Amino acid sequence: MWSIRMRASKKSGVRDQGSGVRQRQREIHISGAEGIYDESEIRKACESYIKRALTHSRGKPDEIIITIEKIRQKPKTISLLPVATLKCSSPEKAREIITQKLKSLDISKKAIDKGFAVLNSKKTMRGASLILLKSGRRIEPDKERGVRVSRMGIEKSAEKKLSEKLSGAKINTTRLRRVKEALVLASKAASCRDIIAEVCISDDPDYTTGYIASKESGYLRIPNIKREKEMHGGRVFFIRETADIAGLISYLERKPVIVI
């Protein structure tokens, strides 16, 4: 088994008015993706990741990094969270739905507000923010990058079954890959004891469905979580105050996990 990861970015330079010299460069995240594959699938997976990076709605990257790495550890097997789609007509309504759900999971107002600040910020991150559910403190070591959930995949027959189920639930084929990937990610995160909930908004200007996920309620899709053309988005995990933070981050980033 192989872990394949892709990230694409572009540098944005701020030019000095007088000299025209680039002063400061910030890396803007365009696209990222990851999965676990058999050796025979490596070429195809890389080709599709490259295509995704080069045709992304967030813009043209000037750097694409692909990492292909053999997995030595036996992956842990997990099951998928159940999926449902909620009714929601606007970002304001979405915020109400999410706030109510998070409150019912005993997440403080402070933590909820911090979560929305991350999700609505123009400075999008490559990874996720980790927020302590009482104090609202952000505990990811790198606040610009965040924590990237990685080394997760889905077994072939489970994927086939899921595709059929999602198609049956009228999720159209252009969305299918995205929903599957998000669901696998959310299922890996939910398999951590110390992650109580996750909220996700895509940072793609053309994708306006997000979700809230938890062990209690599963993966709840929320249409119109943002408006078309908006560039903000992100992921936040609400964490138990007593969590072993290093252990949690290591699990999310490094532990191979396969959905069966």
* Residue 140 makes contact with Mg ion by CB under 5 A: no
- Collect all residues with Cβ–Cβ distance below 8 Å to 1 and sequence separation of at least 6: 36, 37, 38, 70, 71, 75, 153, 256
* Residue 234 makes contact with ligand WAQ by CB under 6 A: yes
* Residue 34 makes contact with Mg ion by CB under 5 A: no
- Collect all residues with Cβ–Cβ distance below 8 Å to 159 and sequence separation of at least 6: 180
* Residue 155 makes contact with ligand WAQ by CB under 6 A: no
Q: Figure out which of the listed residues 27, 159, 204, 230 binds Mg ion, where binding follows CB under 5 A.
A: 204
* Residue keyed to tokens 């110390």: 194
Q: Figure out which of the listed residues 132, 209, 256, 257 binds ligand WAQ, where binding follows CB under 6 A.
A: 209
Burial 179-198 (b: 16+ CB within 10 A, else e): bbbbbbbbbbbbbbebbbbb
Binding piece for Mg ion, criterion CB under 5 A, among 9-17, 72-80, 158-166, 202-210 = 202-210
| Pairwise CA distance, residues 237 & 212, whole Å | 10
Q: Are strands 76-78 and 257-259 parallel, antiparallel or unpaired?
A: parallel
Between residues 15 and 82, which has the closer beta carbon with respect to ligand WAQ?
A: 82
Q: Which of 47, 59, 65, 54 is nearest to 7 (CA)?
A: 65
- Min CB(89)–Mg ion separation in Å: 23
54 SS3 class: helix
* Residue 75 interacts with which of ligand WAQ, Mg ion, none, CB < 5 to 8 Å by class: none
* Residue 207 makes contact with ligand WAQ by CB under 6 A: yes
Binding piece for Mg ion, criterion CB under 5 A, among 71-79, 98-106, 147-155, 203-211 = 203-211
Name the residues that contact ligand WAQ, by CB under 6 A: 32, 34, 124-128, 146, 148-150, 175, 178-179, 182, 185, 200, 202-204, 207, 209-211, 221, 233-235
By CB under 5 A, name the binding residues for Mg ion: 203-204
